[in-house]
Amino acid sequence: MKRRFTFVLFALSLIIASCAVITVNIYFPEKDVKEAYKALEKELMDTGAKPDAQKPEGKPESSIRFEFVRSAYAQEPGLSDKIAEAVKKMPDVVNAYKEMGARIADTDRLRDSGAVGESSNGLLVEREKGLSPADKTIVDAENNNRRTVINGMTKAIIRINRQPETPDNINQVKPQATKQFAAIRRDSAKKGWWIQDDSGNWAKK
């Protein structure tokens, strides 16, 4: 009887252990990411972006179910430079920045006219119906480049944390990389451009 009870207890322990979710909370340094975005734009697009003086917000809270949590932190001096260097090793991202820089006059024209605005997901959104096919092509190409940049930053943060680029890790980091990219777009927007806040509200800057 005692052996049977011990066996059942052991079996239950194995079941509980197999059901546990192992989560790696990847440290996301918001201030360093914003600085890296700006440095990359200034170098690869030559936008003349100025350093951001905004203070970093608190670390994102992790959502815990029934899980064992292992945190990975990448708090190091010069972290923004290391993030930027990691991104610059990605040819597709470097090319995306250069293409964005080459069409900056066209995207500025569309934003100046109010035809498109800067959305909360970091992409250009059509604000007025009736964009010409040529202008739609510009917007599509710009958004494709922006997605490439956001994906590159996502991978850079994961690599800086020395973690594998698994779907779970990408899904954890990408929303934050997107949020910071969109924040840079709002910060650099000119007066009169349409911008969307994190709550989805649109307004002219």
What are the pLDDT digits (tens) for 97-139?
999 999 999 999 999 999 999 999 999 999 878 899 999 999 9
Average predicted confidence (pLDDT) for the chain = 83
The pLDDT value given to residue 130: 82
Q: Which two tokens stand for residue 89?
A: 């090793």
Report the sign of the C-alpha dihedral through residues 37, 43, 49, 52, in that order.
positive
pTM: 0.76
Q: Are 117 and 111 in contact (CB under 8 A)?
A: yes
Cα separations (Å) of 156 from 5, 160, 189? 50, 6, 25
Q: Are 189 and 110 in contact (CB under 8 A)?
A: no
The pLDDT value given to residue 54: 41
Range in 127-131, 174-178, 189-193 the model is least confident about: 127-131
